[in-house]
Each structure stands twice: as structure tokens, then as C-alpha cells.
Amino acid sequence: MKTYTLEEITDKHIGEKGTVRRDAFEEELRLDILGQTIKSIRKERHLTQSELGNLIGIQKSQISKVENNLTNARFETILKVFKALDVKIKFNIEIA
């Protein structure tokens, strides 16, 4: 039985790196990871979505949308969320 790497499976079913479909998939994945990270940290801090929203001046529904990747949240909002959660942020920028 042949085994396949995740990269091979992704190439086959989503598309190879550099294709429009693969780029869209990877962007969606990054946003989903960001939302799940926010949710996890919020829960570690014992905050509800309403409490976090109150800390930064947005509604609970907006926090839910960010955590579940249902919106294109403004960068400023994401920064406010991480600041309210008392989290340090590091950026990694790669020039393609």
C-alpha cells in the first residue's frame, strides 16, 4: 500500500502551489487558524464572546464571525482582539 504526504494529497485534490485554487485554499486555511487561535486564547482567559467584544467595542456576533472565519474582519479589529487578550503578535512577511 502506497502512502502519500499531505502535500501530495493537497496537490492532487486542491491544486499545486501557485494555482488560484490552491492560493485561495491556503488563505482560507490561514484565516481559519487565526480564528481558532483567537477562540482558544479567549477560552483560556475565561472570557465569553460578549466580554471580549465589550473590551474592544464590538458586538458578540462580530467576535463569533471572526472566530468562525465568517467575515473579512479589519486588520485593526484583529489587532484589538489580540491586545485585549494580552497576546504578543509576530508577523512573518515573505516576498514571493
Domains defined for the chain, CATH in brackets: 7-84 (1.10.260.40)
DSSP-assigned states of every residue in 11-59? HHHT--TTSHHHHHHHHHHHHHHHHHHHHHHHHHTT--HHHHHHHHT--
* 8-52 residue pLDDT tens: 999 999 999 999 999 999 988 988 999 999 999 999 999 999 999
Residues 6+ apart with CB under 8 A from 50: 60, 63
To the question of pTM greater than 0.85 for the whole model, the response is no
